[in-house]
Every structure is written in structure tokens, then in C-alpha cells.
Amino acid sequence: MSKLTSLLACAATASAVACSSPHCLEVPLNTWPAEEQADPTLPEFPTRDARPVLRSFGSSFESEVDFAPFYVVPSPYLGTTFQELSTANVHSGARAHRAWIEGANKIVPGENTNHRGYPTVQLDELDGPYAGVVRIEFQAWVDMPMEACADKDWVSLMTLSSYADDQWYQVQLLNLDSEGTPHLMHVPVYGQSVHDIFQTRTIRAPQRQWFTVTVLVDYRSDNAWGSPMLAAWIDGALVSAARFNPRVDPASVPTEKRPDCLDGWDGEDVAQAEALCGLDYRGPVLTQAHFGLYAPPLLESGQMLNDDLEILELAP
């Protein structure tokens, strides 16, 4: 993991569920917008037949072959996170992807020791990144004992990136807080969770039952929001939408916290900063993604299942 990645390792917003551990470091309440609708223009639910499909990737997790071209996190990861294709609980077909936690990970300053149990989808290893408008849909089943404690208070359902390197520095996530509220993370830039289009205050993702996650990513800057935009629905209900920057903004990192790889950077040229830190930006496109268990280190148990994944590049 790069120093740049380690510097701002994934953080998630907090929640209001009471802590059960006597040594728990409680986190503050979420501060969602006062109103759910923060922008007068809301995205419409992207029905599958609304636009012609240009390219597609899909998997019902029936075989490891589907992810053979891509990187798969080793199992067990850090000795605590496991994954398999399981027949025990499926949404369709004979198998689903299952990942689970057996024990907490140590917190190591400067390192990301989050739980990881997933295969990646690296579109650059197939016929190239998806551009323009992208529709993503998958089934999820979550049983995670989250609490409003630091490093126990979230789980991620999805990670997207416009970079082709293995550092996953500039990403966009769809997370659940410890109350089960779905919300986008790292929008508009890394470390922020500003839902300037929409954020639910009432909808919760269910635990221990299958639910449908639908995502619309519009990488165009000439859309109705004047910026790349990301929106997510749970079982057809809009839960979170925000503008985002698909490219890193190293100027937003305080000078005293800049990693060693930015030594010699002129402070302005983003491409130079990316080259110095080994980041491979492919433009405002979907280059790689992962769906599966990604959770903070102090969770000691829990499991997540995924099924029926589909990624579509749509005609603009």
C-alpha cells in the first residue's frame, strides 16, 4: 500500500447506535442535510431498458472463472477475513459470493488494516473502462454487528475508481452506517461525505435479507448537474446522490501531511503528482470496482453476500 493511500485511509461517517463495549470510543452523530433533497434536480431511477447498452459485465458468482482476469483479495486476509462462493444462501442460481469476519484486526498508524473480502472487477483488463453513463446493479445480504464506536461503525457495499493502479486512492463508496443508513462516501473528494443532491434520513438497508442495490454513475460534466454525479437506490428508493471529482486533488492535502512521494511536486500539476505517487488515472470513467465485504478493523464478526452483479455502459 502506498504512503499516499495510507495517509488518508478510508473513513466513514458515524451513527447513533449505542456502544456496547466499555472501552468503546464513541463517535458523533451523523450530520446529514437538514432536508433530504439538497438539489432541485433529482436523478430518475435508471431502468435497465432506458438507454441502449453499449457494453456489459455480469456475474451471478457461479464460478471463479468470472473473475479470473482480475485481482482477488487472498483468503484469509490478515488472518481474519474470508471469502468463498457459497451454496448456503443465494439470490439466484446455485451460488453467491460470501465473505465473513473472524476476529478484529490491529489498528496500525499509517496503515489501512480494514477487513477485505472481495474479488475486483478491472475493466481495463477486458475491453477498457466504461465511460459516459454507467448503470450498476447487484444483490446484497448483510449481517454486520456495527456500533457507534470508532472503527466499528460502518460497512461498505461498493467501491468505484477511475484509476487503473492497485492503490485505490481516489474512490467513491456506498456505505452503511451503524443504523443501516446508506450513504455515499468520498464525495466530492477523498475523505468527504457531502451529499449535495440528495441524502435519505429515513431509509435503512435491511439486515439478514436480500436487497437490491442500483447505482447510476454519470461521468459527464455537461449533464444536468454540471459535474460527474453518482446516485444510489435501495430496492428502488433513492437513498444518496452527490457530485464527485473522479480525479485526486493533492492540493487539498495540507503541506505538513503530504506523503514523501510528493517531494518535488510543483504544487499545481495534478498529472505530475499522480506520476510521482504511481497513480494511473484513465479519465472520468469507471476503470475498476469491487463489491463485497469491506469493513473497519475492530469489527470481530459478521458476513456479507453478493449475487447477480451487472455493470452496463449505456448510450448517452
Domain spans of the chain? 3-17+32-61+120-290+304-314
Q: DSSP string of 194-236?
A: --SSEE-SS--PPSSS-EEEEEEEE--SSSTTSS-EEEEEETT
- Which DSSP helix (H) or strand (E) runs through 141? strand 133-143
Instruction: For the chain, 316 residues long, give each residue's pLDDT as a single digit of tens.
Output: 343 343 333 333 333 344 555 556 776 656 555 568 889 999 999 999 999 999 999 999 999 999 999 999 999 999 999 999 999 999 999 999 999 999 999 999 878 999 999 999 999 999 999 999 999 999 999 999 999 998 999 999 999 999 999 999 899 999 999 999 999 999 999 889 999 999 999 999 999 999 999 999 999 999 999 999 999 999 999 999 999 999 998 887 778 778 889 998 998 999 999 999 999 999 999 999 999 999 999 999 999 999 999 999 999 8
Domain 3-17+32-61+120-290+304-314 has CATH 2.60.120: yes
Contacts for 145 with CB less than 8 Å, ≥ 6 apart: 299, 300, 301, 302
